[in-house]
């Protein structure tokens, strides 16, 4: 007695494609959530906790980009603060540039795009992205476990 296939090949392909698209959507959603939380961690603190905005460029340059296999799939809004239009554009440009260095798999890049961001953290002892990085390192494993659970359903 042999085994006979009763499901069409096209149905099998459609099911596999749907599962793959669902996995991609859930992964991007999880990374976007993490990116948004990192941006909130970096931007939404009082000036006593972070730094004093003069132009708004540094805070405006904070955002994220997500790519999948080298293709950008989501960009945060890089919300402009005060007159920080230069910061908004600089942050977006830097994030797009950095994400292009990674052509395999999913990538989340969170940036503070102004060239003096590192100086503010080092010299003024203010937190720009350091707390967001610590937050991401803590939350990513938890989010990946949740994602695995969602994908198993």
User: What are the phi and psi torsion angles at 72 (to 5°)?
Assistant: -70, 125
Per-residue pLDDT of the chain (153 residues; tens, 9 = 90+): 689 989 999 999 999 999 999 999 999 999 999 999 999 999 988 777 788 889 999 999 999 999 999 999 999 999 999 999 999 999 999 999 999 999 999 999 999 999 999 998 887 778 899 999 999 999 999 999 999 999 998
pTM score, whole prediction: 0.90
Phi, psi of 61 (to 5 degrees): -85, 5
Q: Is-contact 63 39, C-beta < 8 A?
A: yes
Residue 132 tokens, joined: 């967001």
Least Cα distance to 50 among 133, 95, 113, 117 occurs for 117
């Amino acid at each position: 007695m042999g085994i006979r296939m009763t499901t069409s090949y096209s149905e099998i392909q459609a099911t596999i494609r749907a599962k793959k698209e669902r996995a991609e959507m859930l992964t991007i959603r999880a990374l976007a959530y993490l990116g948004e939380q990192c941006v909130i961690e970096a931007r939404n603190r009082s000036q006593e906790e972070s730094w004093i905005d003069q132009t708004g460029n540094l805070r405006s340059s904070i955002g994220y980009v997500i790519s999948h296999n080298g293709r950008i799939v989501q960009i945060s809004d890089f919300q402009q603060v005060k007159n920080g239009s230069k910061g908004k554009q600089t942050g977006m440009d830097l994030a797009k540039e950095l994400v292009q260095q990674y052509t395999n798999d999913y990538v989340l890049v969170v940036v503070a795009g102004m060239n003096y961001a590192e100086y503010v953290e080092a010299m003024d002892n203010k937190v720009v992205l350091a707390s967001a990085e610590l937050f991401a390192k803590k939350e990513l494993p938890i989010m990946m476990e949740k994602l695995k659970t969602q994908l198993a359903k």
